[in-house]
Amino acid sequence: MSTVRYKTSPDPVSTDGRDIDRKIAELAGEAADQQASGAAGKHIEKQAGTWTQLPQPHAADPTYYDRPLLNESVWGWAIPTYYYVGGLAGASLALGAALELQHAAKFDRLIRRCHWIGFLGCCVSGALLVYDLGKPQRFLNMLRVFRPTSPMNVGAWILSGTSGASAAAFFFRQAGYAAGLFGMALATYTGVLVSNTAVPLWNASRKVLPVLFAASAVTSAGSLFELFDQDEDEARVTRAFGSVGKLAEIAASVIAEQHASQVARVGRPFQRGFSGFLWRTAAVLTAGSVVMNLLPRPTRGKRLASGILGTVGSLLMRFALEQAGNASARDPRASFHSQREPLAQ
Amino acid sequence: MPGQPQAAPVKGFFTDTTLCIGCKACEVACKQWNQLPDDGFLFTGMSYDNTAHLGASTWRHVAFIERPAPLHPQNEGAFSWLFSSDVCKHCARAGCLEACPTGAIIRTEFGSVYVQPDVCNGCGYCIVSCPFGVIDRREEDGRAWKCTLCYDRLRADMQPACAKSCPTESIQFGNLEDLRKQARERVEKLHSQGMREAYLYGESAASQPGTEGLHAFFLLVDKPEVYNLPPDPIVPTKTVKDAWTAMAAGALGIALAALGAAFFAHKNGAQS
Ligand code: SF4
Ligand code: SF4
């Protein structure tokens, strides 16, 4: 990989950004095999951005030219989508196991659906995670160690376990119970994963995010089932399950915002900018969905509306959280203030 | 710790920012020795700093601070220059290392924190787990990179390229214990010469409990924020127990919601 520089000069050079003459030098340094195209480092450029206003020195509340302190996450759309899909799969499997306990033939179709959504959700989850890796062909390295200090490593094991158990449930119904237990972990560990970071907004809401993710997973599952053809018994289950999730999701998101806003600068992305807009919209959609659930005289139309609103709402919530975290990572004062004003607890 | 190589004395950097003249020899030496590619030529408009930040291909970064405040012995009235060469801190409790799910990031026999490029799969978790914004992923490459404390040079009994090239000995390399002693003496000397602002940043677990001390620590003369250093960084795993507890509560919540919904629908529904 290389680009041509000084194109208009009589002596253009082709370089990968190292400017090493391979005829006389050997590439043997620690970073010798770092792939580089020779094009400008987009990441640094994006981070540096352009000033719209000259940063003013601020003796009481200084920053380094208002530049970010932290490196913002490199995760793309696949990761918040995975939070949604993994949550959906996990909560479905948990519901499947709970229905199994009732030993009622009328729930058989719903249980099968739970297992299918759980299994397919695990497959899609794996694909999304591999897709987002910088080196997708090395995805199996996730399982070369067991490392409890890394929620991502623990999560890789949880996802493997859930996949296995949900596949087994097609052959032995008893495996559905194991899948349900794994599913509960799958739907919630992602909350620990984002909390366990230096990103001020995520870290400040660490006592709530796993609960928020749990609630959102229940919302996702409840809402998706509402989009299927359902008989009255099935509809009763998913409406009850979904509306509990939706109410809990709204409550948890309010509390998460409160926790983050204990330091004003940290919680700001929840209130302002694009992330704030997504965050509010998600809450409104989820609220709309639960209203559809609780209106008297359930109809098919209300059920579908609830399913769509709830699905979009919980998906949007994951993206809002991702955006809000990135915005707080870009704001050096979010980190500085959160470290200067230690919470009185 | 199991699997840890037999420990040689722990090595580290002491960066005395009062000696730095902003020549960027360290940046150049690092790029050359490690054969790092450039990361674009950017005009930032921030004083003489066009490097901007540490990243996947920038393992030393000199900050240029034009400060509207006097500093003895710079005789510039209400203005002074501060320079500081930033680097990976090789934290005693390293956020990147604890977060890495593949075990690509290891603690070496010199006590430094090293990313094995043949193991890293580019998941990006270390990037959000470093409280200093050091490690980063290069887009074309797909893996995470940062300062290695010149692991290859240390193995060959040489000092890191940046320290070797620093013309003012602003960057000092050595045994961590010796560096700490030297640094304390230096602060005392500066104090006696009238530079009362001088202090050490991250030199011990006591002064920075959140990271349990840095193997690359600094002598500063203004707030850490001025140099784009966090005032009180905490490795995320120190507080993660809160999140695991919340996860247990969340999982329990899912179980209750599922059992409740199933039970309620079964009781209220048509008999089967
Ligand atoms: S400064 Fe960041 S990248 Fe360096 S050892 Fe500490 S946590 Fe890891
Ligand atoms: S990007 Fe590489 S070094 Fe960083 S946490 Fe992931 S596997 Fe480990």
CB distance B124 to A74 below 8 Å: yes
Contacts of A327 in chain B (CB under 8 A): none
Instruction: Tell me the nearest-neighbour CA distance from B47 into chain A, angstroms.
Output: 9
Give backbone dihedrals phi and psi of A36, rounded to 5 degrees, phi first. -145, 140
B98/A149 touch (CB, cutoff 8 Å), yes or no: yes
Give residue A16's pLDDT.
83
Give backbone dihedrals phi and psi of A169, rounded to 5 degrees, phi first. -65, -20
Give backbone dihedrals phi and psi of A84, rounded to 5 degrees, phi first. -65, -50
Q: Which residues contact residue A197 at a Cβ distance below 8 angstroms, ignoring those fewer than 6 apart? A: A73, A203, A325, B99, B128, B129, B236
pLDDT beyond 80 at A14: no
Convert the pLDDT of each residue in A85-126 to its tens digit. Answer: 999 999 999 999 999 999 889 999 999 999 999 999 999 999
Percent of chain A with pLDDT over 70: 95
Query: Hey, whose CA ends up nearest to atom 7 of ligand 2?
Result: B120
Pairwise CA distance, residues A62 & A57, whole Å: 7
Domain boundaries, chain A: 78-328
What class does CATH assign to A78-328? mainly alpha
Give residue B5's pLDDT.
52
pLDDT: is A335 or A344 the higher one?
A335
Give the confidence band of A345 by pLDDT, cuts at 50, 70, 90.
very low
Q: Give this complex's ipTM.
A: 0.94
Pairwise CA distance, residues B162 & B59, whole Å: 10
CB distance A260 to A284 below 8 Å: no
Give the confidence band of A57 by pLDDT, cuts at 50, 70, 90.
confident
Pairwise CA distance, residues A303 & A307, whole Å: 6
A98: nearest CA partner in chain B:
B259
CA of B215 to the centre of ligand 1 (A): 10
Q: Considering chain B, what is the average pLDDT of its residues? A: 94
CB distance A245 to A274 below 8 Å: no
Give the confidence band of A343 by pLDDT, cuts at 50, 70, 90.
very low
Q: Which residues contact residue B67 at a Cβ distance below 8 angstroms, ignoring those fewer than 6 apart? A: A57, B79, B80, B81, B82, B222, B226
**pTM of the predicted model, to two decimals?**
0.94
Convert the pLDDT of each residue in B32-65 to its tens digit. Answer: 999 999 887 778 888 899 898 999 999 999 999 9
Q: Which two tokens stand for residue B257?
A: 């919601």
List Cα–Cα distances, B25 to A270, B161, B168, in angstroms: 42, 10, 10
Convert the pLDDT of each residue in A290-332 to its tens digit. Answer: 999 999 998 999 999 999 999 999 999 999 999 999 999 999 9
Q: Is the CB of B145 under 6 A from ligand 1?
A: no
Q: What is the largest CA-CA distance in chain B?
A: 92
Contacts of A59 in chain B (CB under 8 A): 68-69
Convert the pLDDT of each residue in B197-242 to its tens digit. Answer: 999 999 999 999 999 999 999 999 999 999 999 999 999 999 999 9
Q: Which two tokens stand for residue B235?
A: 């490795």
List Cα–Cα distances, A126 to A81, A181, A295, in angstroms: 12, 19, 38
How many CB atoms lie under 10 A from the CB of residue A295?
Answer: 12
B142 touching chain A per CB within 8 A: yes
pLDDT: is B177 or A14 the higher one?
B177
CB pairs under 8 A between A and B: 380
